[in-house]
Amino acid sequence: MVVARMEHPKVLNLSKMRTIATVLFGALAAVSCGGASANARPPATAASASDVDEVAAGLTEHHRHHHHGGVTLLVALSLDTLGISPEQRPAVEKIRRDLHARMEPARAAQQRLAAVLADGVAAANLDATTVDAAIAQVSAAAAIVHDAATDALNELHTVLTPPERAALVDKVEAHWSVWQKANAEETDPANPEGSRLAMLTTDLGLTQDQVDKIRAGLGEGMKAVPRLDLQEIATHIQAFGNAFRSEKFDAKALTGANGANAHLAGWGAAHLAHFVEAVSPVLTPDQRAEFAQRLREHSVHSNGGNE
């Protein structure tokens, strides 16, 4: 039996209205979101999440190995991506080279330390006196970086526009934040092995027994590394930022700069040395050769990425 379904005229109207409302909702939402996404979607060449991760990992690794100029190095690195105009480029490039030239004694000291460590690892004979002297040279060289770089920093302030100065300060703060994350485990006494050991474990194919021995050695060795006063560095960076954003800037007035640079570079040097001293004795000859090669590569490359 066929039952004819009778609908009241008003119900029919409602049915039509439901259809209309649904279509309208969909159409409006599509127009709204489609229009927004057409503007919001990046072009094919824009940075993707994976790009960000890879570049971030590279920067983290960089900050794990290079400390020689202290905060001045962070300023110099910030010039790499300041986005200045073509007209400004020659002047800023000259300042960037000048900054790196002023940091050269500290970079060379860091390179000497790496060479001492690499030679010691390769020969299975790390001389503590020589290593300590190399660490002291890094710290001493970093302590005079700021004084040597004040003219370049003042010139940089003059060359940049206020928005560019603000961008530079943002970048210095961002580099400092990344530096802290990169070295967080190693500044934390509760976790002395840090991610550097994890990376080495993979790269050199360390056995679990080797890892355990290194970890034990690190626990003892790191006690000799002076603690880094992060607040001292943060205070200096804040002082630099406040001053650099201002209309008038005099780098000579930043009295905490030399101490901050020396402590940052000195901590980095001491930490690297004690890490190597803990790792070296448990390596096989092949692993020592590979480890020494890696140290040499980083020392040659320790120009801050700006050549």
- Minimal distance in Å, beta carbon 141 to another protein? 21
Whose Cβ is closer to another protein: residue 17's or residue 128's?
A: 17
Whose Cβ is closer to another protein: residue 150's or residue 303's?
A: 303
57-86 residues near another protein, rule: CB under 8 A: 57-62, 65, 77-86
Among candidate residues 224, 216, 215, the one with its CA nearest the CA of residue 266:
224
178-197 residues near another protein, rule: CB under 8 A: 178, 181
Whose Cβ is closer to another protein: residue 76's or residue 141's?
A: 76
Whose Cβ is closer to another protein: residue 161's or residue 207's?
A: 161
Residue 203 contacts another protein per CB under 8 A: yes
213-242 residues near another protein, rule: CB under 8 A: none
Whose Cβ is closer to another protein: residue 30's or residue 133's?
A: 30
| Residues 154/234/254/94 CA torsion (nearest 10 deg) | -20
- With 0-12 CB in 10 A as exposed, 13-18 as middle and 19+ as buried, what is 160? buried
Which residues, other chains included, contact 168 with Cβ-Cβ below 8 Å and sequence gap of 6+?
Answer: 75, 78, 79, 82, 156, 160, 244
x/- site string to another protein, residues 28 to 47, per CB under 8 A?
xx-xxx-xxx-xxxxx-xxx
x/- site string to another protein, residues 87 to 116, per CB under 8 A?
-xx--xx--x--------------------
142-171 residues near another protein, rule: CB under 8 A: 161-164, 166-167, 170-171
Among candidate residues 206, 203, 226, the one with its CA nearest the CA of residue 281:
206
Among candidate residues 63, 69, 134, 70, the one with its CA nearest the CA of residue 100:
69
259-298 residues near another protein, rule: CB under 8 A: 294, 297-298
d(CA 293, CA 65): 15
Which residues, other chains included, contact 213 with Cβ-Cβ below 8 Å and sequence gap of 6+?
Answer: 281, 282
